[in-house]
């Protein structure tokens, strides 16, 4: 048996097309296009690539993109001042501060400074609290995209055993909250979990979000399970030439694909969905900020995914 591949390229293109259609309606109703501001501090080359791709896709969906690149030694007060300006700017509906920040900056303080209604990363404690207590808010992009991927292959999530490996605030914790909202029985595993392999083997849904290349192999996977690989790890690829690299997930795809029922690839999986859901969150934020109901297609998606 070989697993069904959950194609992030197809699913993200579909979601971006839906966003673009809704943007047309939004512009018709309000006269303004939703705007997304992305803030990048420092010059990590991988981050710069993601930021550029976000900017391109934002514009392709009919929205406005505002990029702010700050030097690596930016003072925290200057970053907070920029966030205050973006909070006050009516043309900006979404604010994303690319993580991780340089070490001298306090991520908690920076995220706390973002207006929760513009927090399209869903990282502000207000949005995390809303998610944990089942109230409407902005949901972190990667878990949101992972839920859309699960929904594309599973008729029902209710009652399934879900194991999330990783407890980060950006992915692991919100992922667990979303699975719980979908009535899964949820386990959050992490670096201190005893017999991680046995815990993973119980999972009908296995979400890997640890940041360790190929950590989860086929013998950790229950036959027929749905596997969502959130890992984006750049590793040396001498076979491609000296100094070359390639992306691998947290799952050892080649052994996992022979056991799982469905699996997301890396690249071409969750990463692509993360950018598409960022656009969706920006559109949703633009509606809410103006007191407008979310477009029906997103309200329907919310009901399907989160009950
Ligand atoms: N505040 C914040 N929010 C984020 O959501 C956030 C962040 N900071 N910091 C960095 C990580 C990483 N991230 C990715 C987005 C898209 C791809 C993506 O499009 N990947 C493609 C192609 C990747 C490639 O080829 O380089 C793929 O997996 O197929 C990957 C990773 C968002 N992140």
Whether the predicted pLDDT of 1 surpasses 80: no
Q: Which residues line ligand 1 at a C-beta cut-off of 6 Å? A: 49-50, 53, 96-99, 121, 141-142, 232, 247, 266-269, 271-272, 274-275
Average pLDDT over residues 216-243: 96
pLDDT of residue 46: 81
Q: Whose CA is nearest to atom 24 of ligand 1?
A: 267
* Strand pairing report for 94-97 and 185-189: unpaired
Q: CA 119, CA 137: separation in Å to the nearest integer?
A: 9
Q: Whose CA is nearest to atom 4 of ligand 1?
A: 98
Q: Give the CATH number of the domain where residue 44 resides.
A: 3.40.50.10860
pLDDT of residue 48: 85
Atom of ligand 1 nearest to the CA of 96: 1
Question: Same domain for 145 and 219?
Answer: yes
Whether the predicted pLDDT of 82 surpasses 90: yes
pLDDT of residue 43: 86
Question: Same domain for 87 and 188?
Answer: no
Return binding residues for NADP(+). Answer: 166-168, 232
Q: Whose CA is nearest to atom 2 of ligand 1?
A: 98
Q: Are 303 and 296 in contact (CB under 8 A)?
A: no
Question: Same domain for 167 and 248?
Answer: yes
pLDDT tens digit sequence for 204-226: 999 999 999 999 999 999 999 99
283 inside domain? no
Q: CA 152, CA 96: separation in Å to the nearest integer?
A: 27
Residue appearing with tokens 């900006």: 92
Catalytic residue among 98, 119, 214, 250: 98
Ligand 1 geometric centre to CA of 256 (Å): 22
Whether the predicted pLDDT of 264 surpasses 80: yes
Question: Same domain for 104 and 192?
Answer: no
Q: Which among 153, 156, 126 is positioned nearest to 263, based on CA atoms?
A: 153
Q: Are 36 and 28 in contact (CB under 8 A)?
A: no
3 inside domain? no
- Run of H or E residues at 12: helix 8-30
Question: Same domain for 228 and 265?
Answer: yes
* Strand pairing report for 64-70 and 161-165: unpaired
Question: Same domain for 159 and 103?
Answer: no
The mean of the pLDDT values for the chain is 96
pTM value is 0.97
* Strand pairing report for 185-189 and 161-165: parallel
Atom of ligand 1 nearest to the CA of 8: 29
Helix, coil or strand: residue 95: strand
| Helical segments of 135-265, H only | 141-153, 172-181, 196-201, 253-256
How would residue 149 be classed by pLDDT, with cut points 50, 70 and 90?
Answer: very high
Whether the predicted pLDDT of 227 surpasses 90: yes
Atom of ligand 1 nearest to the CA of 278: 5
Question: Same domain for 152 and 266?
Answer: yes
280 inside domain? no
136 inside domain? no
Question: Same domain for 224 and 180?
Answer: yes
Determine whether 98 is an active site residue. yes
Question: Same domain for 40 and 146?
Answer: no
User: How many percent of the chain have pLDDT more than 70?
Assistant: 100
User: How many percent of the chain have pLDDT more than 90?
Assistant: 94
pLDDT of residue 214: 97
Helix, coil or strand: residue 5: strand
Number of domains forming the structure of the chain: 2
Ligand 1 geometric centre to CA of 229 (Å): 13
Determine whether 135 is an active site residue. no
pLDDT of residue 49: 83
Structure tokens at 208: 């890997």
Q: CA 169, CA 231: separation in Å to the nearest integer?
A: 15
298 inside domain? no
Ligand 1 geometric centre to CA of 159 (Å): 30
How would residue 77 be classed by pLDDT, with cut points 50, 70 and 90?
Answer: very high
Complex-level ipTM beyond the 0.85 threshold: yes
pLDDT of residue 47: 87
pLDDT tens digit sequence for 19-66: 999 999 999 999 999 999 999 999 888 888 889 999 999 999 999 999
Ligand 1 geometric centre to CA of 161 (Å): 27
| Least trusted range by pLDDT, from 43-47, 186-190, 254-258 | 43-47
Q: CA 123, CA 159: separation in Å to the nearest integer?
A: 28
List the domain range (segments joined by +) for residue 238: 141-271
């Amino acid at each position: 048996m070989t697993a069904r591949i959950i194609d992030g390229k197809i699913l993200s293109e579909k979601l971006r097309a839906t966003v673009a259609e809704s943007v047309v309606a939004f512009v018709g109703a309000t006269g303004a296009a939703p705007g997304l501001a992305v803030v990048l501090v420092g010059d990590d080359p991988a981050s710069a690539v993601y930021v550029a791709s976000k900017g391109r896709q934002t514009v392709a969906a009919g929205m406005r993109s505002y990029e702010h690149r700050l030097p690596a030694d930016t003072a925290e007060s200057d970053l907070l001042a920029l966030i205050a300006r973006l909070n006050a700017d009516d043309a900006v509906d979404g604010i994303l501060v690319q993580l991780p920040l340089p070490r001298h900056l306090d991520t908690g303080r920076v995220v706390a400074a973002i207006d929760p209604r513009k927090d399209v990363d869903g990282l502000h404690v207000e949005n995390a609290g809303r998610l944990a207590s089942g109230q409407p808010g902005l949901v972190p992009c990667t878990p949101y995209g992972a839920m859309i991927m699960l929904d594309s292959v599973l008729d029902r999530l209710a009652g399934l055993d879900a194991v999330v490996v990783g407890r980060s605030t950006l992915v692991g914790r919100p992922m667990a909250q979303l699975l719980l909202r979908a009535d899964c029985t949820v386990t959050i595993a992490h670096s201190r979990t005893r017999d991680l392999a046995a815990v993973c083997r119980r999972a009908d849904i296995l979400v890997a979000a640890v940041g360790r290349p190929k950590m989860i192999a086929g013998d950790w996977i229950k036959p027929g399970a749905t596997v969502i690989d959130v890992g984006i790890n750049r590793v040396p690829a001498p076979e491609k030439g000296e100094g070359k690299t390639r992306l691998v997930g947290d799952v050892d795809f080649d052994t996992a694909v022979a056991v799982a029922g469905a699996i997301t690839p890396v690249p071409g999986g969750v990463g692509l969905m993360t950018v598409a859901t960022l656009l969706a969150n920006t559109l949703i934020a633009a509606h809410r900020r103006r007191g407008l109901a979310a477009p029906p297609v997103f309200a329907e998606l919310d009901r399907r995914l989160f009950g």
